[in-house]
Amino acid sequence: MGHRALIFDSGMGGLSVTEHIRAHMPGLSLTYVADDMFRPYGTKSAAALRARLPGLLATLEIATRPDIIVLACNTASVTALEDIRAAVHAPVVGVVPAVKPAALTSRTRTLAVLGTPGTVKRKYVDDLIENFAGDCRVLLQGSTALVALAEDKMSGRGVDMDILRREVAPLFEGRFGADIDTVVLACTHFPLLIDELKQISRQTVNWIDSGEAIARRVTSLLSDMPENRRMEPPDCALLIGPDAEPARRKVFAQYGFENVVGLYPSKKI
């Protein structure tokens, strides 16, 4: 008996948020859904995401009966959060770039937002910068290659450090790159690469993500809800698409999802 949360992402990036949620609420029952078939979201148009996600989350809500939904994807959150909230009954916690805490901690007043193109190009991010980092110089860098690198790492294939350097180096090589002291990891996949990012960085950088803040928000919302009397099923990960190979299943098990189910739609949904 208790509460159940649905954690949703385009792939394994939401595991970086799951880790924080489990630390705050170790008894919380979790269902994780990875929309592998449509990954990466960062290359998809806003129209495509808004057409797909509300209906998909509404269906998943019916299937998993969560008390709360965690949209553990920055691109989905800055693009379709309100549409999803309108389509489901459970409260939805989105993940947005941690621009506010980054601005509060930056001493040089120069920070970077490293996300997917589908995140850094959205007006939502421009508004965050205007509202919370108006006195800062903010550099934006979009990469979908880092999503693939994170998926490779978590699937046991290792990280191509040359690609990682190629994707991140332009941030620090530009006119103001040497002044950057804070980088917002605006994709839930990117904290999974934190060790590698620190390894290639030639300057001291504070890397910030939203995982801890999301966990505190989930804890706060659930604390105000009555506990369910139903018996919760074991934690489960549902993978929409063909990416359920043994190495990937092992990683999900390490994050507490012993039951991994591959869903193979006959056509893209």
CA atoms within 13 A on the CB side of 23: 12
Strand partners of residue 240: 263
73 given a catalytic annotation: yes
Q: Which of 73, 214, 218, 251 is an active site residue?
A: 73
236 given a catalytic annotation: no
Rounded to whole angstroms, what are the CA distances from 150 to 143, 161, 181, 196?
A: 12, 11, 23, 10
Strand partners of residue 252: none
Token pair belonging to 97: 């770039």
Rounded CA separation 83/74 (Å)? 15
Q: Which of 187, 213, 214, 237 is an active site residue?
A: 187
Q: 121-144 burial by CB neighbour count: b if 16+ within 10 A, else e?
A: bbebbeebbeebbeebebbbbbbb
Rounded CA separation 243/147 (Å)? 14
Rounded CA separation 45/76 (Å)? 11
Of the candidates 21, 44, 28, 38, the one whose C-alpha atom is nearest the C-alpha of residue 239 is 38
- Active site residues per annotation: 73, 187
